[in-house]
Structure 1
Amino acid sequence: MTKIPEANVIHSRLRLRQLRLMLALQEFGSLRRAADNIGMTQPAATKMLHEAEDLLGVELFERLPRGMRPTPFGETVIYYARMVFAELSGMREELVALESGNLGRVAVGAIPALASGLLTRTIANLKQSHPRLSMSIQVDTSDVLVQALLQDQLDVVLGRIPGGARAEELLFDSLGEEELCVIAGAKNPLVQAKDLSWSALQNETWVLQQHPSPMRAIVNQVFHNARVDIPNSIVETTSIMTLLSLVQQTDMLGITPVSVVEDYAGRDLLAVLPISFEARLPPYGLITRRHRIQSSAMQAFISSVKAEQGDA
């Protein structure tokens, strides 16, 4: 059995051009087209692939009658090759930013419940202390955001680690927990009730997050525990503002963290219904990739979030 070489051997002998070839092979499935893509002859590409396989001691690509496909070893190398080039792109962006006097850029993902409160306050403070810090914001459910993080589309996520995520590749820094509540418009007749049960609300129209978000999983579990079928009439949205507007202007019901209601400017137009909600969402926090080096921009954002949460 061939032994995988020590890390220091890989560090000193594996070349970036070999990694570029792996990515091109995975994309095109053909040695000729991959070689053309990175500006090499096919014989040179063949030699380079053999050298990489000899160095690592494993077969990286399976030779098929028509083309090539990565082996499980190859898939692993391709995954880390993408990470390497993403880090190099990040390095280049940060160098350009520093050259122009900026702190750099950070791509942030946030779940809707945190976007209007914690994230907004963090951005406001950051732009005062670091006016030339560039930020891009994506608001979505945790499952979508964590997948984007793992694909290097985001630098940091304010959210939760969803079930089924590759948790071993993530770092989670908990910031707190949120209590959930059922909300209705202030004029909804249900607001006058002294006590309500889940069965009494089963036939109402609900505004809920899409499956498989952590909040939707909790809601489904609550109905299941109450031995009540999931409501048939559901409007699905990831937008907190859409949820609040629908609940406020119709007889629809919604489920949201208590903090969202408290932060909402039109909270007088909403009411929290008198129904027991013992289930809680998993803790929310800062999620980053385990092996990713944090840029100056990332560090500034993370420090600001923690400071803002500490002051809340």
Structure 2
Amino acid sequence: MVKNPLPPEHILRRLLQKGRLRQFQMVLAVADLGNSHDAARTLAVSQPAITKAVQELEEVLGLAVFERHARGMRPTPMGREIVLFLRRIVATTGQFAETVATHHSTESLVVRIGAVAAGLNGVLAHHLPIFAEAHPQIRIRVDEIDGRQINTILADGEFDVIICRRQPTLPRPWDFTPLFWDEHAIIAAPDHPLVGRRGLRLDDLEGCIWMTPTTGVLALGLFEDLVVRCRNPGFCQIATRAPVIIRETLRQRRALAIVPLSTFQAELAAGTVARLDFPLNSPNAPVGLIACHEAMGAAALALVEYLRGHAAPEPAPQSP
């Protein structure tokens, strides 16, 4: 086995030349089951075939993926990272096969949607079931995406339509259409002592505990601007975008959080969180769709036309 460090381009060239999906599947089976015997039985291949697949991958990578012990094999520390990457490769291949199979069907159309949390809650949660009922022949796939990686996601070409906030720049020929204007607010558990009080002022927030927004979101700037002006603020060191964690943290810690209202529409409607009557002077941030008309199929075009037909009007500018 190669002992000297290998440059990334050397490893990539080896993988392209010698790496195989079936080999990756065998290695994953060993990682899951802990020995080549059970892996061979599960995949209906011979045990020597499993052993050979593991050895070939280790030779290609120039390092040990597994530690051998009396009862089988377990991934090395680096092997655990390799296994994670192999899972992604196999899973992505499965998605690719599903997409190809769908396009082979003459009775089905498909539209692939990537959406940030604001798009999922503020647009798709309401409109997508209605659209799907009106277009039963269209198969819809929706995945949540990271709004900080929009240009990379567009370059990958995985989605027909992206639902996200307006981006500073977009590669041509993609364009952005606003669908609604989101705003931020302070929320708390429904039994928080500030809930229900009208006309809250900065002094009313003295001594409150705050959840810190994650980096790269508009809420972080609003949070930093507000908290620096509060007296004796406390902090809960949980930074997350997950509504269920935010909701439970607000309840258990009696904390406050600054969030986009679109992300918490369901919770606000159900009464599991409540909005404080405090002015944030939050700018109206448009959430909309990004699409490329030059490469758009019939299914994506139907969805885009439907969403554009139900876009909310732009709100009037806020008074200074």
Q: TM-score, normalised by structure 2?
A: 0.57
1:244 to 244, 247, 265: 247
> In structure 1, which of residues 213, 235, 238 is the aligned counterpart of residue 238 of structure 2?
235
Contact 2:190–2:274 (CA under 8 A) maintained in structure 1: yes
Among 141, 150, 153, which residue is 1:136 paired with? 141
Q: Which residue does 1:179 correspond to in 2?
A: 183
Q: How many residues align?
A: 230
Return the alpha-carbon distance in structure 2 between the equivalents of residues 35 and 124 of structure 1.
42
> Which digits, 9 at most, give the CA deviation of each residue in 1:251-291, with x for residues without a partner?
12122334555543754343321221112252111123x58
Aligned position for 2:127: 122
Distance 1:115 1:102 in 2: 24
Contact 1:146 / 1:161 at 8 angstroms: preserved in 2?
no
Other-structure match for 2:31: none
User: How much has 1:96 moved relative to structure 2?
Assistant: 5.3
In the alignment, is the contact (CA less than 8 A) between 2:122 and 2:265 conserved in 1? no
Partner Cα distance (1:31, 1:144) in 2: 24
Partner of 2:307: 305
Contact 2:206 2:230 in 1 (8 A): no
Distance in 2 between the 1:35 and 1:260 partners?
A: 42
Shift of 1:102: 0.4
Deviation at 1:147, TM superposition (A): 3.2
Match of 2:210 in 1: 206
1:8-47 alpha-carbon deviations (Å, 9 max, x no partner): xxxxxxxxxxxxxxxxxxx84699869958xxxxxxxxxx
Contact between 2:181 and 2:287, CA under 8 Å: does it hold in 1? yes
CA distance in 1, matches of 2:233, 2:152: 27
Inter-partner Cα distance in structure 2 for 1:214 and 1:144: 15
State the SS of the aligned residue for 2:303.
Answer: helix
- Offset at 1:223? 4.3
Match of 1:147, SS? Answer: helix
Query: Secondary structure of 1:283's match?
Result: strand
1:141 to partner: Cα distance: 4.2
In structure 1, the partner of 2:283 is 280
The Cα offsets for residues 186-211 of structure 1, whole Å up to 9 and x where unpaired, read as 21122265544457547533345421
What is aligned with 1:49? Answer: none
* Counterpart-to-counterpart distance in 2, 1:282 and 1:121: 19
- Does the CA contact (< 8 Å) of 1:198 and 1:223 recur in 2? no
Structure 1: 5+ residue stretches without partners:
1-26, 38-88
Structure 1 segment 1-312 matched on structure 2, within 5 A:
28=9, 97=103, 99-106=105-112, 108-162=113-167, 166-169=169-172, 170-191=174-195, 193-198=197-202, 201=205, 203-223=207-227, 226=229, 232-259=235-262, 262-264=265-267, 267-288=270-291, 293-309=295-311
* Structure 1 vs Structure 2 CA RMSD: 4.0
Q: Which amino acid aligns with 2:299?
A: A
Instruction: Note closer, same or farther for the CA distance 1:198–1:100 as it changes in structure 2 (3 Å cut).
Output: farther
SS at match of 1:190: coil
- Supply the distance in 2 between the matched residues of 1:121 and 1:247 (Cα, whole angstroms): 26
Q: Is the 8 A contact 1:175 1:283 kept in 2?
A: yes
Cα distance in 2 for partners of 1:154, 1:256 equals 27
Q: Is the alpha carbon distance of 1:201 and 1:153 closer, same or farther for their aligned partners in structure 2, counting shifts above 3 Å? A: farther
Provide the rounded CA distance (Å) in 2 between the counterparts of 1:35 and 1:248: 51
Letter in 2 for 1:102: S
Contact 2:210 2:236 in 1 (8 A): yes
Shift of 1:215: 3.3
The letter for the 1-side match of 2:302 is A
**Offset at 1:238?**
1.8
CA contact (8 A) 1:118 1:309 kept: no
C-alpha contact 1:159 1:285 (8 A) present in aligned 2: yes
> What is the CA-CA distance between 1:122 and the residue it aligns to?
2.3
Counterpart residue number, 2:318: none
Report the 3-state secondary structure (helix = DSSP H, G, I; strand = E; otherwise coil) of the residue aligned with 2:285. Answer: coil
AA aligned to 1:97 is H
> Does the CA contact (< 8 Å) of 1:183 and 1:273 recur in 2?
yes
Identity of aligned residues (%): 18
The AA in structure 2 aligned to 1:303 is E
